[in-house]
Amino acid sequence: MRFEDLRLTEPLLRAVRTAGYRTPTPIQSQAIPHVLAGRDVLGCAQTGTGKTAAFALPILQRLSDRSLRGTAPAGQIRALILCPTRELAQQIHDSFRTYGQHTGVRQTVVYGGVNQNPQARALRAGVDVLVATPGRLLDLMGQRLVSLAGVEILVLDEADRMLDMGFLPDIRRILAQVPAQRQTLLFAATMPDAIRKLANDILCHPVSVQVARVSAPAETVAHWVYHVEQPEKPTLLTRLLARTPRARALVFTRTKHGADKLTRHLLRAGVRAAALHGNKSQGARTRALAEFRSAQTPVLVATDIAARGLDVDDIAQVFNYDLTPDPETYVHRIGRTGRAGASGTAVSFCSAQERANLRGIERLLRAALQTVAVPRGDSQQRRGMSA
């Protein structure tokens, strides 16, 4: 199938071609016709499947097609996209800007952690599409800088993550201000009971679109595990990164303090690395992501804030430096590699205290992670040689 077969308009097809895309991904080929038809959609798709284009392209077409225009006054928001993190909000906004460059549809993004004045100015100038995190949107609504009375299309992206982060009360408050007569699209990587209940509450006769088994990682990812104790992890990571110095790698730690400490260790060892977590200022987070995308800084050490929505291609390896106790979080973490059919490697470090975490992950995957011997010179082998 080609994008032309999805009955997208020429301005959108031109933007897609300019972006270098030729054929739609499964989530795009399944979801786009239903969104264009005005249907509600419940989508289950892993990260890296092209989910943003699956809703951005048909939304842009509906908003730019004058025959489908609603009765919203000029300047009012017509499409609202809610997502859990600043990084994902910015990436969705960038996608709308890229795909909509020839449509005349206006868009902006609002999120916390930065000065609201530029966001308020953009809203006053009038936008058709608003991408927002729930907290900042509610702040702006409280100041009467945003009206949702004209919303025709509502998207909840990474809905399971928003619930995990405690945003459900905020989402309910926002939903109360959106017209009941609307098109609603809900996308999630997993479908726990809480998401299904929310979907039942807000979707009207939805079409269900699922492109992968719930909690299934990409088949192109190899899963390795090193059994190594906590004090030896920094040295092991440094040695493994040295084997592929130009490859982009994402390293997950359990805590913000741990991310900063490990980043300092890597920098002292001559590895170009940066930390990404919630205590960083928005400016620092934006710089770290930009340098990671350009491979100026090939190693990004992050907490799970980056497990979702981090849209960076060609991540060769994901390291689970601290093995998560939540098996589904493991799937979200490693979803940053092996994207769009590319191969990737998920490398986990498992200490004696983390073996229960490893068993939970293997149960979810229905397969054992491939055990790899610790390189000579590390862990007990290193201590044995120096004894």
User: In this structure, what CATH number is given to the domain that contains residue 344?
Assistant: 3.40.50.300
Residue 17 has a CB neighbour count (10 Å cut-off) of: 11
Q: What is the pLDDT of residues 26-52, one digit of tens each?
A: 899 999 999 999 999 999 876 667 889
Higher-confidence residue: 288 or 343?
Answer: 288
According to DSSP, the residues that pair with 39 across neighbouring strands are none
Are 197 and 241 contained in the same domain? no
According to DSSP, the residues that pair with 184 across neighbouring strands are 154
Instruction: Give the domain-ending residue among 155, 183, 210.
Output: 210
pLDDT of residue 351: 95
pTM above 0.75, yes or no: no
Instruction: Report percent pLDDT > 70 for the chain.
Output: 88
Rounded average pLDDT over 266-285:
88
pLDDT of residue 306: 58
pLDDT of residue 380: 43
Contact of 192 with 160, CB cutoff 8 Å: yes
Q: Report which residue type is found at 92.
A: I
Instruction: Tell me the residue range of the domain where 374 lies.
Output: 221-386
Range from 110-124, 260-274, 284-298 carrying the lowest mean pLDDT = 284-298
Instruction: Give the domain-ending residue among 210, 242, 260.
Output: 210
Question: DSSP readout, 41-59?
Answer: EEEE--TTSSHHHHHHHHH
Contact of 58 with 7, CB cutoff 8 Å: no
Q: Which of 167, 145, 187, 159 is nearest to 42 (CA)?
A: 187
In a domain, 215, yes or no: no
Q: Report which residue type is found at 75.
A: G
In a domain, 206, yes or no: yes
Rounded average pLDDT over 260-273:
95
Q: What whole-number distance in Å separates Cα of residue 128 and Cα of residue 77?
A: 5
The beta strands (E) that lie in 4-152 are given as 41-44, 79-82, 107-110, 129-132
In a domain, 216, yes or no: no
Q: What whole-number distance in Å separates Cα of residue 44 and Cα of residue 210?
A: 5
Q: What whole-number distance in Å separates Cα of residue 341 and Cα of residue 305?
A: 24
Are 201 and 239 contained in the same domain? no
Q: How many domains does the chain have?
A: 2
Rounded average pLDDT over 262-291:
89
Q: What is the pLDDT of residues 235-255, one digit of tens each?
A: 999 999 998 877 889 999 988
Rounded average pLDDT over 205-219:
73
pLDDT tier at 63, thresholds 50, 70, 90:
very high
pLDDT tier at 69, thresholds 50, 70, 90:
very low
**The length of the chain, given as a count of residues:** 387
Are 177 and 324 contained in the same domain? no
pLDDT tier at 232, thresholds 50, 70, 90:
very high
According to DSSP, the residues that pair with 223 across neighbouring strands are 346
Contact of 151 with 78, CB cutoff 8 Å: yes
- Work out the angle between the directed axes of helices 10-18 and 51-64 (0-180°, nearest 10): 150
Contact of 154 with 178, CB cutoff 8 Å: yes
Q: What whole-number distance in Å separates Cα of residue 323 and Cα of residue 213?
A: 23
pLDDT of residue 47: 62
In a domain, 320, yes or no: yes
Q: Is the pLDDT reported for residue 212 higher than 70?
A: no
Instruction: Give the domain-ending residue among 170, 185, 210.
Output: 210
Question: DSSP readout, 176-210?
Answer: TTS-SSSEEEEEES---HHHHHHHHHH-SSPEEEE
pLDDT tier at 366, thresholds 50, 70, 90:
confident
pLDDT of residue 338: 62
Residue 170, H or E segment: helix 168-175
The 8-class DSSP code of residue 104 comes to -
Category of 7 on φ-ψ map: left (φ > 0), alpha (ψ -120 to 50) or beta:
left
Are 256 and 278 contained in the same domain? yes
Residue 233 has a CB neighbour count (10 Å cut-off) of: 22
pLDDT tier at 72, thresholds 50, 70, 90:
very low
Q: Report which residue type is found at 155.
A: V
Q: What is the pLDDT of residues 73-103, one digit of tens each?
A: 545 899 999 998 888 898 899 999 999 999 9
